[in-house]
Chains A and B, each alone.
Chain A
Amino acid sequence: MSTAEMVAGEAPRTAPAGDVILEVRNLVKHFQVGGGFLGGPPQVVKAVDDVSFTIRRGETLGLVGESGCGKTTTGRCILLLERPTSGQVIFEGRDLMTLSPAEVRRVRRKIQVIFQDPYSSLNPRITIGQMLDEPLAVHGIVPERKARQDRVRELLTVVGLLPSMASRYPHELSGGQRQRVGIARALAMEPSLIVCDEPVSALDVSIQAQIITLLEDLQERFNLTYLFVAHDLSVVRHISDRVAVMYLGKMAEITDRTTLYAEPLHPYTKALLSAVPIPDPEVEAERQRTVLGGEVPSALRPPPGCVFHPRCPIAIDECKRVVPECLEIRPGHRAACIRAPGYPAGAANA
């Protein structure tokens, strides 16, 4: 691995090590597929299978993985858009699963979302102004009508749009502008945690940089915490304080950004990192790449033992039988691989 060269791509981050704002404990989300009357027994997709992590106030946790690995579902469970099959989502000390509908509505002010697709995430029948006005009115954040209009203009300015855009409809804006509106809508609620669900992967590269910079500015200005779901490793590396890697519904590895990119423990992380192109042809030509064989197995029939073993270059017989837990191997560095140096022997579930 020649990760040392890539360290240059890391933005300096001064994450205040605040209190834990969000803790996800043993989150499980299963979806039933088919089945029912005359359809045979229903099959179960284990979209998220026993995932745990914490996020501290003011930091950015990057959540990466291939499509279908459950990273978006994890985000949706935190947003209460999906009801987890089991597990706990503890936000600011309260388990969201135990809240009443009225309490959930209050908590929702504090957890907001930015979606991937800037085209379908804005209601086409509502002007930008109405879109930003509505949450302020519904939640009584700014009860007075005149003051609300001022606040809408302020929000638009904050995300780098012209206040006059309030009278526009979404179809009159470009993709980058729409994504800014989506960010403004999330900010209107004055949240403390924002789940960014691949917020830049649908945008042009030049626009991506602008949106990332905007997100960073806003984080500093409003002391926001981000859960940054993405599959683009260089973007995640740029914006995150810590990075979590998921594979087939399981947490593979989680640690701070520098350690993950410099000394990954999990073979899947190593393979992922080696797939990131390096913008230097000489370095690119020299480095060794770990190319994984085969495809991601179907989440309907995950392999027994470690879900990664059929594609793992260092798998041994034990990997087919033992489900590795994601355990702390070094301080602040957890990985789910019994082959990782320092993995506690005999800790895995048979």
Chain B
Amino acid sequence: MSATTEGVLVEPASAARRRRWLDLTLSFCRRRPLGAIGAGVVIFMILVAVLAPWISPYDPLAIDFAAMLAAPSAQHWLGTDAFGRDVLSRIIYGSQTALIVGFGAAFIGSTVGAVIGVASAYFGGRIDLVIQRFMDILISFPLIILALAMVAVLGNNLPNLIAAMTVPMIPRCALVIRSSALSVREMPYVDAARALGYRHTRIILRHMLPNVMAPYLIMLTAFLGQAILLEASLSFLGLGVQEPTAAWGLMLRGAAVEFAETAPWMALFPGLAISLAVFAFNLFGDSLRDALDPKLRTG
């Protein structure tokens, strides 16, 4: 640490920070090749989702009755479904849905959870007790059951779906962040902020939250994979994204079940996409946790 900071002293702070990030990224790739592969797949997924209109061979909603249930071929690389829609195009567009819902739910869920966790640790005492017991109640439901219940209550358009998925994530994140925030709360700089007469919101958001960044990032990446899986599950159960929107979970149900034996590509490829995405996010998340863990312990 000291060797690098000394070199940094003569450089302007912004350049030093840029170099530090580059160093960190490179050493992460070298030390954790599996995590780097995961990160690579994640970046690939993001690129595919962004470039979907240009790279997908067909309109994902275009129905072609002449090519119903077509097997993989040169025209349709991954075949077509019961309406003659191109499976590859639908998987490409499905990545958009997966990422929007996944990132949306994971980001909102872990951020709200982090704020609640830090606030709970900061205030302590009775407020902490009440918040923690309420979080315990929420956490006692399995992820998917709670999300199902929330969708049933809210109705299933995209924003509601994201909102429903954040509900089971918030308490899980709040619990982890709270334990880190408890040690941050004892730091003299938090006392200094109080002595400087700052308001609670300023202390929580500006002085404590940035110092629980490591567990926050870990929770965020862990939730990304879970959120994608959860969205696929909800869509499969018919409570998630609705037809005709392209979504991986949706592609696994209906006709895909009916024609599972005669047209297995309908279910196989979206299933692979889900597995690969969740696997990649989890690999990346796990490696990130390992990389950040020593810093976690030192606070």
Contact = CB atoms under 8 A, between A and B. Distances in A.
Nearest to B1: A171
Identify whether the interface residues of A are mostly helix, strand, loop, or mixed. Answer: loop
Given A125-B211, A169-B13, A172-B9, A185 B187 contact: no
Nearest to A189: B196
A169 B11 CA distance: 13
A138 B198 CA distance: 7
Nearest to B12: A167
Contacts of A185: 192, 196
B187 A120 contact: yes
A120 B189 contact: yes
B244 interface: no
Contacts of B206: 126, 134
B191 A113 contact: yes
Interface string B200-231: 00100011001101000000000000000000
How many residues of B sit at the interface, in one of the four size bands?
Answer: 20 to 34
Contact of B191 (A81, A127, A139, A169): A81
Interface in A63-113: 76, 79-81, 104-106, 108-109, 111-113
Contact of A113 (B195, B202, B211): B195
Nearest to A188: B196
A269 B197 CA distance: 36
B247 to A, nearest CB: 38
A220 B187 CA distance: 31
Nearest to B14: A167
A185 B191 CA distance: 13
Nearest to B2: A171
A126 B187 CA distance: 14
Interface string A299-323: 0000000000000000000000000
A82 B211 CA distance: 23
Given A172-B8, A185-B192, A138 B197 contact: yes
A168 interface: yes
A115 interface: yes
A167 B199 CA distance: 25
B217 to A, nearest CB: 14
Contacts, number: 71
A58 B202 CA distance: 32
Nearest to A166: B13
A262 B182 CA distance: 46
Given A123-B207, A127-B13, A139 B197 contact: yes
B73 interface: no
Contact of A125 (B188, B192, B210): B210
Interface residues of A, number: 35
Nearest to A104: B197
A329 B211 CA distance: 51
Given A167-B12, A167-B13, A123 B189 contact: yes
Given A120-B187, A120-B189, A171-B5, A111 B13 contact: no
A294 B196 CA distance: 41
A117 B5 contact: no
A115 B196 contact: no
Contact of B196 (A117, A135, A169): A135
B30 interface: no
Given A108-B195, A109-B197, A172-B5, A122 B13 contact: no
Given A81-B191, A168-B13, A171-B5, A123 B211 contact: yes
A121 B190 CA distance: 8
Contacts of B196: 108, 112, 134-135, 138, 185, 189
A122 B189 contact: yes
Contacts of B213: 125
B194 interface: yes
A124 interface: yes
A113 B192 contact: yes
Nearest to A118: B188
Interface string B1-41: 00001001100110000000000000000000000000000
A39 B192 CA distance: 33
Interface in B170-189: 187-189
Contact of B197 (A108, A116, A169, A172): A108
Max chain B C-beta neighbours (<10 A), residue from A80, A108, A123: A123
A125 to B, nearest CB: 4
A115 B188 contact: yes
Interface string A165-205: 00111011000000000100100010000000000000000
B5 A121 contact: no
Contacts of A81: 191, 194-195
Interface centre among B8, B9, B193, B195 (most CB of A within 10 A): B195
B192 A121 contact: yes
Chain A CB within 10 A, most for which of B196, B211, B213: B196
A80 B197 CA distance: 10
Contact of A120 (B12, B188, B198): B188
A260 B213 CA distance: 50
A168 B197 CA distance: 24
13 contacts: A79-B191, A79-B195, A105-B199, A109-B197, A111-B195, A113-B191, A113-B195, A115-B191, A121-B187, A121-B192, A123-B210, A138-B198, A167-B13
Interface of A: 76, 79-81, 104-106, 108-109, 111-113, 115-117, 120-127, 134-135, 138-139, 167-169, 171-172, 182, 185, 189
Q: Lowest 10 A-B CB distances belong to which pairs?
A: A108-B197, A121-B188, A125-B210, A105-B197, A115-B188, A123-B189, A167-B13, A113-B195, A135-B196, A120-B188
Given A115-B191, A121-B187, 12 more contacts: A80-B195, A105-B197, A106-B197, A113-B195, A120-B189, A123-B207, A123-B211, A125-B213, A126-B207, A168-B13, A185-B192, A189-B197
Interface of B: 5, 8-9, 12-13, 187-189, 191-199, 202, 206-207, 210-211, 213
